[in-house]
């Protein structure tokens, strides 16, 4: 047995692999280093990171400025109880105030996106009592804790429900999913029924405290909503006395162009949840940010939440340098330029590969939805298949990994979300490998002469008309 095999044996026999039957946790790829947009295995083979790991390493790997700040904080004070004030927290707050939407200016710091959503649930239910229901959407992911998984529409919630590890009072709405409109309509003649139905749900359900959305759906498909969707959802929440929660754990920090995805549509949420990119994954941080109207409520009421690692100095020390690095990077124009190049190259793949039913996205946040039949939009796999069989998307991802390209895959789509530091040449490197890997699915499609959907392309063109040029320069 080689040293590498010994390491894997020790690891897989004594740890639990996430989101899987454990028999599938036997031969994970052993990564020994990562830098920039690449990671390296024990044999020094290089892999291009085309999903920013879990859509979190937005500034790439081993950013020296962030690392230096973490080391400096570790030498000064790595931990202090959350009841104390300290410079790391002060600096993090000051940095965040320069980028958060106007009015969203009170923060609770935790250690992950799911914890940020957990805190949001407690806050909104206290604030909105006796109303307690939350409307989420079927194509959503909001985390793995009891609250986060309860908000989640994807099949991971099904297993948590079987384990009785969910909270009550969450109901699900249809998605802004133009490629597979749940109402069988087409944009713009649909009059955005997906959002109008939320108004119907609030009025019929009663006791609705909040609506939680990923402004652009993350894991479950990079669903970019029609331009009217989020402004109308803001109106619906206001008209019905419900809070609007924007989960920007994946979309935050320039992944869709502006600092926050909601800024594509000039919408300000009542609660903004943040994680992943706020430190570019160099330390684990979650942030629950609220407006003053929510903060004012807790002046006299108990905010019934907290844990040992709240406001962790070492974790928070990565926020100011990360935000500074984003501003510096965006000022170069590189992400704005490369995102348009990425868009063109992905549309070219869609034209060449019949297995791609829809290429859609915004900024550095794209999906390739994989289908068996373009004409009928029949999937290779469904939600119910996710934990029961080998998926076509997994087969494509495995082939790409052999060829030196890593990206995340879900049951029906590939996650194309590279670090914001990626160059055009590196995008081309990834596209060339992806072009080869997609042949795995092309060999299994039911061939038609029907071209792929252009609904997302048409919507992007419409966005270009109504949104400010500064937000669409990417």
Nearest partner of 322 among 70, 102, 38, judged by Cα: 70
- Residue 31's CB: how many other CB atoms inside 10 A? 12
What gap in Å lies between CA 263 and CA 225, rounded to an integer?
Answer: 13
CB burial of residue 80 (10 Å; 0-12, 13-18, 19+): middle
CATH architecture of 3-61+332-471: Alpha-Beta Complex (3.90)
**What are the residue ranges spanned by the domains of the chain?**
3-61+332-471, 64-328
Q: Which CATH class name applies to 64-328?
A: alpha beta
pLDDT tens digits, the chain, 474 residues: what are they? 777 788 888 988 898 888 888 887 878 889 999 999 999 999 999 999 999 999 999 999 999 999 999 999 999 999 999 999 999 999 999 999 999 999 999 999 999 999 999 999 999 999 999 999 999 999 999 999 999 999 999 999 999 999 999 999 999 999 999 999 999 999 999 999 999 999 999 999 999 999 999 999 999 999 999 999 999 999 999 999 999 999 999 999 999 999 999 999 999 999 999 999 999 999 999 999 999 999 999 999 999 999 999 999 999 999 999 999 999 999 999 999 999 999 999 999 999 999 999 999 999 999 999 999 999 999 999 989 888 888 999 999 999 999 999 999 999 999 999 999 999 999 999 999 999 999 999 999 986 554 444 444 444 443 333 333 332 232
How would you write 288-352 as a 3-class SS string? EEEEHHHHHHCCCCCCCCCCCCCCCHHHHCCHHHHHHHHHHHHHHCHHHHHHHHHHHHHHHHHHH
Tell me the C-alpha to C-alpha distance, in Å, between residue 44 and each of 5, 31, 404. 16, 9, 11
Beta bridge partners of 289: 107, 272
The predicted pLDDT at position 448 comes to 57
Distance (Å, whole) CA 337 – CA 457: 18
Give backbone dihedrals phi and psi of 12, rounded to 5 degrees, phi first. Answer: -75, -25
User: In angstroms, rounded to a whole number, what is the distance separating the alpha carbons of residues 368 and 349?
Assistant: 9
pLDDT of residue 57: 98
pTM of the model: 0.92
User: Are the C-beta atoms of 438 and 349 separated by less than 8 Å?
Assistant: yes
């Amino acid at each position: 047995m080689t040293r590498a095999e010994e390491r894997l044996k020790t690891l897989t026999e004594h740890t639990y692999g996430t989101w899987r039957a454990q028999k599938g946790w036997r031969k994970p790829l052993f990564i020994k280093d990562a830098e920039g947009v690449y990671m390296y295995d024990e044999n020094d083979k290089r892999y291009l990171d085309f999903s920013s790991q879990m859509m979190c390493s937005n500034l790439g790997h081993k950013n020296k400025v962030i690392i230096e700040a973490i080391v400096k904080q570790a030498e000064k004070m790595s931990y202090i109880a959350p009841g104390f004030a300290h410079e790391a927290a002060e600096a993090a707050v000051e940095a965040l105030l320069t980028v958060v939407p106007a009015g969203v200016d009170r923060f609770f710091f935790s250690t992950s996106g799911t914890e940020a959503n957990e805190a949001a649930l407690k806050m909104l239910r206290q604030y909105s009592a006796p109303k307690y229901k939350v409307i989420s959407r079927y194509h959503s992911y909001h985390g793995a804790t009891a609250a986060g998984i309860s908000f989640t529409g994807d099949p991971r919630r099904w297993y948590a429900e079987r384990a009785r590890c969910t909270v009550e009072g969450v109901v699900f709405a249809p998605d802004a999913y133009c490629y597979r409109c749940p109402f069988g309509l087409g944009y713009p003649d649909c009059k955005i029924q997906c959002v109008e139905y939320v108004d119907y749900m609030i009025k019929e359900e009663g006791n609705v405290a909040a609506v939680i959305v990923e402004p652009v759906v993350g894991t479950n498909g990079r669903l970019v909503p029609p331009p009217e969707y989020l402004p109308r959802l803001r109106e619906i929440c206001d008209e019905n006395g419900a809070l609007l929660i924007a989960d920007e754990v994946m979309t935050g920090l320039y992944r869709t162009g502006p600092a926050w995805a909601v800024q594509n549509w000039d919408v300000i949420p009542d609660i903004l949840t943040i994680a992943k990119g706020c430190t570019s994954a160099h330390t684990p941080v979650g942030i629950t940010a609220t407006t003053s109207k929510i903060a004012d409520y807790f002046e006299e009421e108990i905010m019934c939440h907290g844990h040992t690692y709240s406001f962790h100095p070492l974790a928070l020390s990565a926020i100011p340098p990360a935000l500074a690095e984003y501003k510096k990077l965006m000022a170069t124009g590189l992400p704005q330029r490369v995102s348009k190049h990425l868009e063109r190259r992905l549309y070219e793949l869609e034209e060449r590969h019949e297995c791609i039913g829809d290429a859609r996205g915004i900024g550095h946040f794209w999906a390739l939805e994989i289908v068996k039949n373009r004409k009928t939009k029949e999937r290779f796999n469904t939600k119910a298949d996710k934990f029961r069989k080998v998926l076509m998307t997994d087969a494509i991802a495995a082939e790409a990994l052999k060829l030196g390209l890593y990206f995340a895959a879900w049951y029906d789509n590939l996650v194309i979300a590279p670090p914001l530091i990626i160059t055009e040449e590196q995008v081309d490197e990834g596209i060339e490998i992806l072009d080869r890997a997609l042949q795995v699915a092309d060999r299994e499609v039911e061939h038609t002469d029907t071209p792929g959907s252009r609904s997302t392309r048409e919507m992007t063109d419409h966005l270009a008309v109504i949104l400010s040029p500064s937000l669409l320069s990417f």
